[in-house]
A and B are shown apart, each in its own frame.
Chain A
């Protein structure tokens, strides 16, 4: 597991049923592209987050395939529909097989 990986997600605490909300996510990850060389001229192996998904109560919101061209600390912003109260589940998949996830609960006003 890569060191110091910390997912951060911004979701409003409440919304009206059927509302559109904006979700912002960021995960601290170095996203080593596999193009860079170290001081001795050796290629640093690729180590990135290659996939991100967001689900609400088991229903998919977005599924993103990330490539090495995504910046360090991958940031994603998108919009989701909130049909009912429930949980947003965010999952990041690392090249080394690690999976990072976090959940945010949203209530209906």
Chain B
């Protein structure tokens, strides 16, 4: 193929589209975060997210979140087709602001936990999980 001006333009547009694809998923994650925080600044601090470094099977990845002063904790899987995973709301009789569950991960990605604290501020923690077999049946 001769590299004409038209071809060069086409190639440029193609590269732009290909690069743009991964951003769609993270845009959904950003929307979910914005809906949870209401656009407030998210700091770091009093929150722990425990997830394995390597998960052989993306269908069941055990995770645990805890945060001493949290009212709510939201968990997101940034690389999943739908990033939201779960939201834990703690009631009056919750002895600790911690919970564990098992989640699905489509592939190697960051898992993010965001906690809403009693004073109304937000903190987050993230952890990268390497997934050998994805869990979204694609």
Interface residues of A (CB under 8 A from B): 20-21, 33, 35-37, 55-56, 59-72, 74-81, 83
Contacts and interface: CB of A to CB of B under 8 A. Distances in A.
Nearest to B89: A63
Nearest to A79: B95
A67 B85 contact: yes
Interface of B: 59-61, 77, 80-82, 84-96, 98-105, 135-138
Contacts of A33: 104, 136-137
A47 to B, nearest CB: 14
24 contacts: A20-B95, A21-B95, A33-B137, A37-B137, A59-B92, A60-B92, A61-B93, A63-B88, A69-B85, A69-B104, A70-B85, A70-B101, A70-B102, A70-B104, A71-B103, A71-B135, A72-B59, A74-B101, A78-B88, A78-B98, A80-B93, A80-B94, A80-B95, A81-B93
Nearest to B111: A69
